[in-house]
Chains A and B, each alone.
Chain A
């Protein structure tokens, strides 16, 4: 059974950098899957942030591309999200997920990140 768990600071200051990590168990992040981040602002729908593959290929949502970086720590079997220059609009529950063939097989429970001074 594959499990994903998001972790990171729950509060980030405006103009700062949001950093989240997704710990993966039950699967290797070096396997042939796409590792994704999705977010859900309070009271709103889900928004796809992007995905990354262990080969180094990344796909980011055009609206966030200039601020997003996704990376791996293969020694810890985890992948990460970095979002710079955050504003209140980036306040959301952030989910990590494992996907392939245009679908997500497994998700984390989500982590709330609030952008506030």
Chain B
């Protein structure tokens, strides 16, 4: 099972919107809605931001928006803030009854 493909880095200015893609196959992202997104500040515990493609856990701002089209899931962060600077990774359930993660995207607020 190959890792899901994410861009290595995405940057944006405060207040702007950015979108991070997560591309897999029909055996993972395309085949299930069990796609999650996590925010990770290195050295700290990852934080769940989006689950089941579009759902937000309580406490996660509605600036974070998830979507999916075919084999590609996306995370959009609108109204970018300095505190959003982190590594974001996606994950998906797979047809092998396992989980696969994305390669990770470093978001920089410039």
Residues of A within 8 A of B (CB): 4, 38, 45-48, 59, 61-62, 95, 97, 101-110
| A45→B52 contact, CB < 8 A | no
- CA–CA, A108 and B89, complex, Å: 16
Number of interface residues of B (CB under 8 A): 26
The 8 closest A-B pairs by CB, nearest first: A102-B34, A46-B101, A103-B51, A48-B99, A107-B45, A107-B46, A45-B103, A103-B36
New A-B pairs, 7, CB < 8 Å, besides A47-B101, A48-B98, A48-B101: A38-B101, A46-B104, A48-B100, A102-B52, A104-B46, A107-B45, A109-B43
Provide the residues of chain A in CB contact with B57, threshold 8 Å. 105
| B101→A62 contact, CB < 8 A | no
**Smallest CB separation, B103 vs chain A (Å):** 5
- Show 6 A/B contacts (Cβ-Cβ < 8 Å), sorted by A: A45-B104, A46-B104, A101-B51, A102-B52, A103-B48, A107-B46
| A108→B52 contact, CB < 8 A | no
| B45→A106 contact, CB < 8 A | yes
- CA–CA, A106 and B101, complex, Å: 16
| B98→A62 contact, CB < 8 A | yes
Provide the residues of chain B in CB contact with A110, threshold 8 Å. 43, 45
- The A-contacting residues of B in range 96-110, CB under 8 angstroms, are 96-104
| B96→A62 contact, CB < 8 A | yes
Provide the residues of chain B in CB contact with A107, threshold 8 Å. 38, 45-47
| A45→B48 contact, CB < 8 A | no
- CA–CA, A110 and B97, complex, Å: 24
| A45→B51 contact, CB < 8 A | no
**Smallest CB separation, A2 vs chain B (Å):** 10
Identify the closest chain A residue to B33 (Cβ): A102
Identify the closest chain A residue to B89 (Cβ): A46
**Smallest CB separation, A10 vs chain B (Å):** 15
Identify the closest chain A residue to B93 (Cβ): A102
B3 at the interface (CB under 8 A from A): yes
| B101→A103 contact, CB < 8 A | no
Provide the residues of chain A in CB contact with B102, threshold 8 Å. 45
Identify the closest chain B residue to A103 (Cβ): B51
